[in-house]
Amino acid sequence: MSRQTPAELLLAKAEDRSAVIGIVGLGYVGLPLAMEFARAGYRVLGFDVSTPVVDSLNAGCSHVRDVPNAAVARLLEAGRFAATADLTRLGEPDVVSICVPTPLSKTKDPDVSYVLAATDAVKRTLRRGQLVVLESTTYPGTTRELMLPALASTGLKVGEDFFLAFSPERVDPGNPTWGTRNTPKVVGGITETCRRLTIAVYQPAIDRLVPVSSPEAAELVKILENTFRSVNIGLVNEMAIVCDKLGVDVWEVIEAAATKPFGFLKFMPGPGVGGHCIPLDPHYLAWKMRTLNYRTRFIELAGEINAEMPEYWVAHVVERLNEQGKAARGSRVLVIGVAYKKDIDDVRESPALDVIRLLAQRGAVVSYHDPYVPTLRADGIDLQSAPLGADALAAADCAIIVTDHSSVDYGLVARHARAIVDTRNALARLPKRSAEG
C-alpha cells in the first residue's frame, strides 16, 4: 500500500474537516474568517499578539463589530474556536492564514514588517504538510520574493513538503449584504498543488473561489480593485471642485449621469478616502513600479486629489464662518462623524482626522459627535464624542458633516446648526420640510 504524500493528507483533512486552521491576526479580517472556518466544521486556533484581544475572545467577547459576541461564545462552547498569543503553537495548525496589517511608512512605502514577523514565526515551527496562505494586501511579489525564501530556508520544498499561496482579503466592514462567506475569494498558489489545496481548504467556508495563475496575479487583483475605486473617487472629487467653481450641484450631476444604463458607474465625492485599503493599496503598486523605473501617473494623481479634499472642505468651513463675520480662530466647530465611512467604528486613515487637524491648526475649537466612536485621539489630542442635541448644535459656530451615519438626526442638524458644511450630501436626503426647518 502506497504512503500518502503531504498534499494527499491535507486534502483528506480538508474533505473530512479534521484539518486545524490557524489564523494569525484576529482583527477586521482575521476574526470573521476564523468564524467562517469554524462554522464550516473546522477547529480554528486564532493567534494575536494582543493579550487583551485574546483574553476577550476566549471570554466570548468580540472586539470586531461585524462579529457578534454570541457567535464567538457559541463556537468557543462547541470547541471549534480558541485564541492564543503563543506563537510557538503555530506548528499545531495544518493551515496558517496570515491576516496582519500592511500599513505605509511616512514616505508612502509599503511596511511589510508585520508580514515578515508573522512569516518568521511560522518558519520557526513549519512542518511537512502545512499550508501557509497570506491574506494581507501587499505589493505584487511579496509572497514569492519575501515569504517563499524564508520558509524554504527550513529545507522543506514548496509544493511537496509545504504549500504557499496568496488569497487577498475583501472585507468591507459594516456591509450588510457582502461578508466573508459570500464574497468571491481569489486564490493564487506558488505551484498548482498549492493553489488546489488552498481551494480545497477554503471551499467549505467560502461560497465561491476564484483561482488565478500565480500569487502575483492574486496580489495585483486586490490592488487593482482598490486602485479602481481610488481613481474614480479622485475623479468625482475633482468634479466636485469643478462644479463648485461653476455654481452647479455636483450631486445633481452625478444622479443624472447615473441614469445612463451603461458605461457609467456611480461614485460619490466626499472629504477624502479612509480605511485600510483605498488610501494605501494604490501606493503598494506605485512603489513596486518605481523599483521597475515606471511612474504610475494616474494612481499618484488620484491620490493627490483625494488627499487634498480635507483642505478643500475646511476652506468651506472658513468661508461659512466668514459669512457670519467670524474668524476660524476661536470659533467652535462641530465635526459630525469621524469614522472613515458610515455605520462603522473604524477611524483608520479617516479624512475626519485631517479635517480636525486642519481646523485646530487654524485655531478653531473643535468637538465631534459620532455614535460609533466614543473616544478619539486626533493630532495628539484626546477627544470624547459630544451628545448631538439642539443646544450643542446651536452652540457651534459651524457644523461639518464628515461621515453620514444612518442613525444621526440630520433634521435636527438642519434645524439648529447656525452654519453647515455637508461633505456627504446628507441633508439632501431629508424630506423638504425637515431640511427647511
Q: How far is CA 123 from CA 130, 168, 400, in A?
A: 11, 21, 49
Mode of pairing for the β-strands spanning 375-378 and 381-384: antiparallel
Nearest to 164 by CA among 180, 145, 138, 184: 145
Catalytic pick among 99, 243, 277, 398: 277
Distance CA(227)–CA(233), nearest Å, equals 10
The number of residues in the chain equals 437
DSSP 303: H
What radius of gyration do the chain's Cα atoms show?
Answer: 24
CB 112 within 8 A of CB 142: yes
Contacts of 275 (CB under 8 A, 6+ apart): 173, 340, 341, 346, 348, 349, 350
- Tell me if residue 99 is catalytic: no
Mode of pairing for the β-strands spanning 365-369 and 375-378: unpaired
At 298, list the grid cell.
494616474
Distance CA(354)–CA(351), nearest Å, equals 5
Distance CA(89)–CA(98), nearest Å, equals 14
Nearest to 281 by CA among 223, 229, 341, 218: 223
Q: Would you please indicate which residues are annotated as catalytic (active-site) residues?
A: 277
